[in-house]
Structure 1
Amino acid sequence: MSLWFDIARVSHGLNLLLLVGLGYVWVRNYLEFRSKHTLGLLLFSVFLLLENGFALYIYMVDPDLSVWFSSAAVPDIAWQGMMVLPVLEAVGLAFLLWVTWD
């Protein structure tokens, strides 16, 4: 198993946790204010939650793809490319969570 694979999985898991925190705040705000803006933010978090959950499912649970991803069949350069996006997403979500909770 590649270090890049582990970084991608951890990043997707971290994204799920960050999105749950953001979703909690945005649900609370939507229930209080009933504005379209908070509804849009809430839907944004739901779609990103689905995307990151599906990525973790593919990496860890899917009977065909999880075996392929954990083997040496995927070259490191491909993992580096697949790792960059969730890491950048985690940085962006962490900043967004910090701004939202501040």
Structure 2
Amino acid sequence: MAMGTLITAAAVLAGINVLLLIPLLGVWVRNYATFRTGLVAGLVAFALAMLVENAVALYFFFSMQSFYAGDPHVQQAVLVLRALQFVAIAGLSYTTLR
């Protein structure tokens, strides 16, 4: 069964989130090695959690397509949540990497 347009867009956003989180994690791990502060440790933990969450989401998008296929409202909600997560991670990426 082919993925619907909304779920395909959500999967693409999850993939982009993973790609944005990898350099963020690298910067924050490097910063933690230098500063050893609780704030930076929290950022590392955040990046790891979000990276795992998005990777697991990608797995489910491709392995359990029928889970999302039944209800267009669920598909729309999943897409909106992925989009909000992308905005948050993109904002963090912008401020961290500039």
How far apart are residue 75 of structure 1 and its match?
A: 2.4
| SS of corresponding position for 1:27 | helix
How far apart are residue 69 of structure 1 and its match?
A: 4.4
How far apart are residue 36 of structure 1 and its match?
A: 1.2
Equivalent pairs, count: 96
Q: RMSD across aligned C-alpha pairs, in angstroms?
A: 1.4
* CA–CA distance in structure 2, aligned partners of residues 94 and 48 of structure 1: 13
Corresponding position of 1:8: 10
Corresponding position of 2:80: 84
> Structure 1: 5+ residue runs without aligned partners?
none
Letter in 2 for 1:88: L
Corresponding position of 2:70: 74
* CA–CA distance in structure 2, aligned partners of residues 69 and 10 of structure 1: 17
After TM superposition, the score normalised by the length of structure 1 is 0.86
Deviations 1:34-89 (Å, cap 9, x if unpaired)? Answer: 111111100010011111111111111x3xx23x147xx42222200111001110
Identity %: 38
After TM superposition, the score normalised by the length of structure 2 is 0.90
Structure 1 residue ranges (4+ consecutive) displaced by more than 3 angstroms after TM superposition: none
